[in-house]
């Protein structure tokens, strides 16, 4: 960690950030939210830690959000699961290149060759090709992940093993099962024993009945003047390792601090080796589309180029809740935000740029947006249907414009209130790159077209790779 330079002397101004956060949350129509800022003390100095909360946990009840309320941090949980996996690597229980089938002998994926050769590294880096959005509910019992692993035998192989990067929730549930097999504990118990306890976390849980003892956030599908509460509070237990941790920002920052300080908790307890902390943040694989999350992926973390400065982080989205965690290791700074709205990207972009600019002199890159001047791109090669297990993307040209119709099916569509197709214009940005603004979104999202080395054509949207149908 390098905290030298002018930014090292910039202190957190609690009054400013409390007022600014409340102002921006209201501006973006978010029912309730928490913000935490951590600046690790250099050369033995004390840390600076600031937390604040604003708004309500539930628009229907009006319960006030506090800094001790807990929110679903969604897929930020993946970095926590990856951390426990790397602890087991530290202990020599397996290696990153160990085939998963050697650890979980009953693994039987749809493709027998993938069953034999998929490794722990493939799961950590989202390169397994296993359909990533299998949200099958396998019950509330302690055998939920064991049953889920059996269900993965029915999941499609979305792309050849290791051929590209595609966000894979399913792979992280399988990583949770690896943790269970190796430790003899449930994933929930392993997280408590190996992370929550040594980090001294008091408001972090994995099960809904544990979250209920705290003031807990409820998801909202819409905010603003007419907020709509989500019809479902959480996802099935089988999704736990991919996204079911519930926490407050102070606890999330304690986890981040451990990663900023080489693997040690605040009291000096060794949680992860310094070598594996570095490995988790190091480059592992390129992302085909570099504007939505990061330009590359580590082991759990995504990696961002912030105008020449390397940040790491992860976002999380559940049903009507969104969380954001960013670390700037060179400055020893981490920022965590929890919200109870389905998408808070505009708030994240505005707020985090202000925070990191003020405290570290580092600007978050400009929002992905449509060009100021129209760009001419021949979209004919991209026309067609792209399909994976739960999503159909149909690209077509009509009235001189490019359109994409998205049809979602399965558990996620049911949980979010239906599966009506959505059609949106694709605005050309550059060759093979377009911008789309989905319903109810204030932000543009990138849509990238590309081909694998074997010639198979893909669309990359929403961090997922979807193959083009050949017939």
Residue 75 annotated to the active site: yes
**Are 173 and 151 a contacting pair, CB within 8 Å?**
no
Between the alpha carbon of residue 427 and those of residues 232, 401, 432, 449, 463, the distances in Å are 34, 8, 11, 13, 18
d(CA 278, CA 255): 15
H-only helix segments in 361-458: 411-415
Q: Report which secondary-structure segment, H or E, holds 309.
A: strand 309-317
Residues in the chain: 471
Q: Report which secondary-structure segment, H or E, holds 339.
A: strand 333-339
Query: Pick from 355, 373, 353: which is nearest to 364 by CA?
Result: 353
Q: Report which secondary-structure segment, H or E, holds 121.
A: helix 120-124
Assigned token pair, 277? 């902390």
State the catalytic residue, choosing from 69, 75, 247, 343: 75
Query: Pick from 463, 468, 436: which is nearest to 452 by CA?
Result: 468
**Are 76 and 300 a contacting pair, CB within 8 Å?**
no
Question: Residue 115: is it exposed, middle or buried by C-beta count within 10 angstroms (0-12/13-18/19+)?
Answer: middle
Q: What is the dihedral of CA 161, 297, 307, 74, to 10 degrees?
A: 120
Assigned token pair, 368? 């992905």
**Are 250 and 51 a contacting pair, CB within 8 Å?**
yes
**Are 38 and 333 a contacting pair, CB within 8 Å?**
yes
Q: Report which secondary-structure segment, H or E, holds 424.
A: strand 422-430
Q: Which residue has the tokens 């990238």?
A: 448
Phi, psi of 325 (to 5 degrees): -135, 125
Query: Where does 6-164 show beta strands of DSSP type E?
Result: 32-39, 48-55, 71-72
The residues annotated with a catalytic role in the active site are 75
């Amino acid at each position: 960690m390098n905290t030298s330079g002018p930014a090292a002397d910039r202190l957190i101004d609690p009054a400013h950030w409390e007022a600014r956060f409340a102002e921006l949350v209201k501006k973006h129509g978010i029912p309730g939210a928490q913000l935490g800022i951590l600046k690790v003390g250099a050369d033995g100095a004390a840390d600076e830690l600031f937390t604040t909360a604003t708004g309500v946990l539930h628009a229907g009840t009006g319960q006030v959000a506090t800094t001790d309320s807990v929110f679903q941090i969604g897929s930020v949980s993946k970095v926590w699961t990856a951390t426990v996996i790397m602890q087991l690597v530290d202990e020599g229980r397996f290696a990153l290149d160990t085939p998963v089938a050697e650890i979980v002998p009953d693994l039987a994926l749809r493709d027998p060759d993938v069953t034999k050769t998929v490794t722990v590294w493939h799961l950590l880096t989202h390169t397994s090709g296993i359909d990533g959005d299998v949200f099958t509910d396998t019950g509330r019992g302690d055998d939920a992940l064991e049953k889920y692993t059996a269900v993965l035998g029915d999941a499609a192989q979305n792309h050849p093993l290791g051929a590209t990067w595609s966000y894979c929730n399913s792979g992280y549930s399988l990583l949770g099962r690896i943790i269970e097999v190796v430790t003899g504990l449930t994933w929930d118990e392993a997280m408590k024993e190996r992370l929550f306890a040594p980090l001294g976390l008091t408001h972090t849980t994995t099960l809904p009945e544990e979250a209920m003892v705290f003031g807990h956030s409820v998801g909202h599908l819409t905010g603003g003047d007419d907020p709509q509460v989500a019809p479902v509070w959480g996802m099935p237990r089988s999704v736990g390792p991919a996204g079911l941790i519930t926490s407050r920002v102070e606890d999330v920052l304690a986890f981040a601090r451990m990663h900023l300080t080489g693997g040690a908790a605040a009291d000096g307890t060794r949680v992860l080796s310094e070598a594996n902390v570095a490995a988790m943040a190091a480059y592992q694989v390129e992302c085909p589309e570099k504007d939505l999350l990061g330009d590359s992926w580590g082991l759990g973390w995504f990696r961002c180029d912030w105008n020449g400065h390397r940040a790491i982080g992860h976002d999380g989205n559940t049903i009507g809740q969104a969380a954001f965690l960013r670390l700037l290791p060179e400055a020893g700074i981490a920022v965590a935000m929890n919200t109870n709205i389905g998408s808070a990207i505009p708030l994240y972009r505005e707020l985090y740029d202000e925070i990191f600019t003020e405290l570290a002199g580092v600007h978050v890159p400009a929002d992905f947006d449509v060009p100021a001047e129209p760009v001419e791109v021949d979209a004919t090669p991209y026309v067609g249907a792209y399909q994976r297990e739960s999503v159909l993307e149909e690209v077509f040209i009509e009235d001189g414009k490019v359109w994409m119709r998205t049809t979602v099916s399965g558990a996620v569509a049911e949980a979010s209130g239906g599966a009506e197709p959505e059609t949106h214009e694709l605005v050309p940005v550059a060759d093979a790159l377009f911008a789309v603004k989905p319903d109810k979104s204030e932000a543009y999202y990138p849509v990238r077209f590309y081909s694998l080395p074997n010639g198979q054509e893909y669309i990359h949207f929403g961090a997922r790779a979807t193959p083009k149908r050949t017939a």
